[in-house]
Chains A and B, each alone.
Chain A
Amino acid sequence: MMSLRKGLLWFPWMVGVFALSILARSSAMARSTAQPNPQQVGEQEQALEQEDVTSVGPADLVSNDGTYRVHWTHPDGELEFGERFKMIVSVERSDGEPLQSQLSVDSRMPEHGHGMKREVRIVELEPGRYEVSGMLFHMPGYWEIYFDLTRGAVTERTQVSVDLY
């Protein structure tokens, strides 16, 4: 027969086992209540698939104050992180006046507060048409590409969003 002293030694173990069984049971109940129906699962997977697709903003852009129209393409194919790419950028003024503006290009991740690690090279192919090389997104996520046009003392921005996955 187990002595009282030995019984007292077993007591904490029994309490622990009881607590663990309660925990396991409540966790199983929580899982069972959180089980979505098959239709919900389908929708979630679809949403996840959509989020994982790189999405690139439109090719035809208007500058943030409406002064310029910018058309851009990336002829090397789909944009991917860690891959250098080039862009062909065409610029014209919305009011039809001669351009007389200087283009600079940059890209940033505004939610992370940083930009690209590299400087880009811009070559004017013909008046208002440029080749921009050396672009590289060094990590996946939300990027913005900036086409800044400077005329006199004023620089105006045109921008496009890239969700890169």
Chain B
Amino acid sequence: MILPLLFLVCFGPLQEPEPTQREPLGRHLRQLENLPQASGLAMDDEGRVWALERNSGRLWRIEPEGQRTLLNGELGRPTDVERGANGELFVTDAESSCVLRLDAAGKILARKAVTGSQLSGLAWTPERIYVTLASSHRVQVLDADGEPLFSFGSHGSDPGQMIAPSDVAVAQNGTIFVADSGNSRVQAFDKQGKFLHEFGDWGPFPGLFFQPSGIEVRGEEVYVADFGNHRVQVFDLKGNLVDRFGLHAIRPREGKGYIHYPTSLSLSPSGEFAAVAEPWVDRVQVFCRTGGVAEDAVRRQAMQLAKPSAHYGMDFACDGKFLFISEPESHSVVVFENSGDDPRRISRLGGLGRKTGLLTGVGGLHYDASKHELWVADPILRRISLYRMPGIEQAEVGFDALLPRFVKSVDLAKLHELELKRWLPTVPEVIAIEKDAAGRLYLLDAANACVIVLAPELESIESIGRGTLQRPTSLAVAADGQTLYVADAGGHVWAFHGAKRQPESIAQGFTPHGLALDEERQFLFATDPVQHRIWRFGLADKETISWGGPGLARNQFYKPRGITLDHRGQLVVLDHGNHRLVRMTVDGDYLATAGPRLYTRLLRYPHLTDKEGAQEEGE
């Protein structure tokens, strides 16, 4: 009698079926190339991917074998897609500020307007639709028919507040998780939008974020695309780190499981597959749990020990003999002495923080060499700050952290409250700054799609371009302030002339980003990050030429962003996708390159032809 009992006690548990532990997600399965500005993603359990192209307004369905079907090519500026019931699709369109309901074939069935600006992320449940509004810094909750129920969140860093939320996901228990990109954290809210808890903070270490961009929940796990740390992190519902996958790509456009600036993230309903969008390289990578290729364990270990590498940001300024480049990893602006062929790093300013003089983001730089003054726009803190440099002769020796001195800042939220709200509905989000000879400041405001002009005493004078501009990215101002040029990613370069600021489209049919105007006003130069080219518009002779193309060779670019003319009258291009600066003549002839990556240095070997250089750098 006792023996069978003892047997049961000892061996009983062994006979219980153990819960099956799933393999972690993160084995590289395949990659989908040539998806320009790939943004929102959705997946099914068969491994199909629905992918949006933000700039062209296209929605693709891509089969596991690679066949692509264009479901819709006229979605405005789509930012996220989710699959609903019966194969329906829901898409956020930032251009029309609408949530679109599409049938499985891509036909628009309904369109619901959402109050607020910059729809960025979407989550769908049978009862509700959740939308993040990046420029309104809140989450809008809609019912199943797209009618507004309530919203929560406001600009700020306190619990429940958010800055530029990028995506939202909902757990089975109804908890709402928001990727709070500007605060580099994830916040959890209950069904009514009441703050529950938060996890993460800014940083490179496991569990921290550098602008979380996409978020999904499957079962008990929260998956977060970590934009600036080039990885996906997995947490439990309480925010404890469970796993991570994806490693920072080392070689340009490397792929094969190594990811670069992931934005959107989607998991299949069962959680067997994940798709990660990398608009930086116009690509989507698909990961799985079994099969595929695992991360290289040696490289994973090596990269975990490595300190985070610094990149050039998208903004720079150059005048006289100083060059300033934003550095996103350090939340600072790096100062270079630029009198020779090779810019020499001599100082930095800013650093992460909300206090006066510190920076959380850098959205535009302007340097006035005659006054040694640098203006820096911080679109996250919603302020512009002035720093003063010493003369170049004092900056000759080595690195000196004390060279730039903070002078003053303008709180744009306060300025909006005091003056600007008469003209502008929302607090400005300044992404570019220029100055004319009279000392007037021109602030390019992405939130209100206009240019704000401030007098030298920092009082607002006028706003330009409202109603004309759609997605302005940069501006150039003639020294007399009579004409200003604005690059609009909507597909135009606009000129605003004279006292009446009459608009004229001087170029269209491409996607401009950076602008530079030469002193004689002969030429206007524009970068084109979609075609990876530089355009030169003759303002007098109306002749247009362009050069470049995607690649790493001397006369190639990858997503060039900023552009300016230096004190020698030479063009300097911030070749953002290649992490380098390229100096060239105004006719497009290559002169020199500089940058933190080893492959940029190969370009300096004069004996290499472009082709050899490209081969060597590419390999």
Could you tell me which A residues sit within 8 Å of B by CB distance? 64-65, 104, 106, 110-111, 113, 115, 146, 148, 150, 152-157, 159
Contacts and interface: CB of A to CB of B under 8 A. Distances in A.
Query: Which of B357, B410, B415 has the most A CB atoms < 10 Å from its CB?
Result: B357
B555 to A, nearest CB: 39
Given A152-B418, A156-B408, A111 B402 contact: yes
A153 B408 contact: no
A115 B355 contact: yes
Contacts, number: 49
B51 to A, nearest CB: 41
B407 A152 contact: no
Which bracket fits the contact residues of B?
20 to 34
Contacts of A153: 410-412, 414-415, 418, 458
Given A154-B411, A157-B357, 19 more contacts: A64-B406, A64-B407, A64-B408, A65-B407, A65-B408, A104-B356, A106-B355, A106-B356, A110-B401, A113-B401, A148-B356, A152-B414, A152-B415, A152-B418, A153-B411, A154-B408, A156-B407, A156-B408, A159-B405
Interface of B: 351, 355-357, 386, 388, 401-402, 405-412, 414-415, 418, 458
Contacts of A150: 411
A159 B407 CA distance: 10
A146 B356 CA distance: 10
A155 B408 contact: yes
Contacts of A113: 351, 401
A154 B405 CA distance: 16
Nearest to B411: A153
A155 B409 contact: yes
Given A155-B409, A157-B407, A146 B357 contact: yes
A152 B411 CA distance: 9
Contacts of A64: 388, 405-408
Nearest to A142: B402
A64 to B, nearest CB: 4
A64 B355 CA distance: 17
A13 B388 CA distance: 64
Contacts of B351: 113
Interface of B is mostly: mixed
A64 B412 CA distance: 20
A140 to B, nearest CB: 17
Contacts of B407: 64-65, 156-157
B401 A157 contact: no
B356 A157 contact: yes
- Kindly list the 8 A-B residue pairs having the minimum CB-CB distance in the complex, ordered from nearest: A153-B414, A153-B415, A156-B408, A64-B407, A111-B401, A153-B411, A148-B356, A65-B407
B418 A155 contact: no
Query: Which of B386, B388, B406, B418 has the most A CB atoms < 10 Å from its CB?
Result: B406
Contacts of A148: 356
5 contacts: A64-B406, A146-B356, A150-B411, A153-B458, A157-B407
A156 to B, nearest CB: 4
B435 to A, nearest CB: 15
Given A64-B405, A110-B402, A111-B401, A154 B356 contact: no
B408 A157 contact: yes
A153 B458 CA distance: 9
A111 B458 CA distance: 31
A155 B354 CA distance: 14
Nearest to B404: A110
A29 B520 CA distance: 65
A14 B407 CA distance: 68
Contacts of A110: 401-402
Nearest to A144: B402
A155 B356 contact: yes
A159 B402 CA distance: 12
A110 B387 CA distance: 14
B476 to A, nearest CB: 26
B617 to A, nearest CB: 34
A23 B386 CA distance: 57
Contacts of B409: 154-155
A58 to B, nearest CB: 16
A154 B418 CA distance: 12
B59 to A, nearest CB: 43
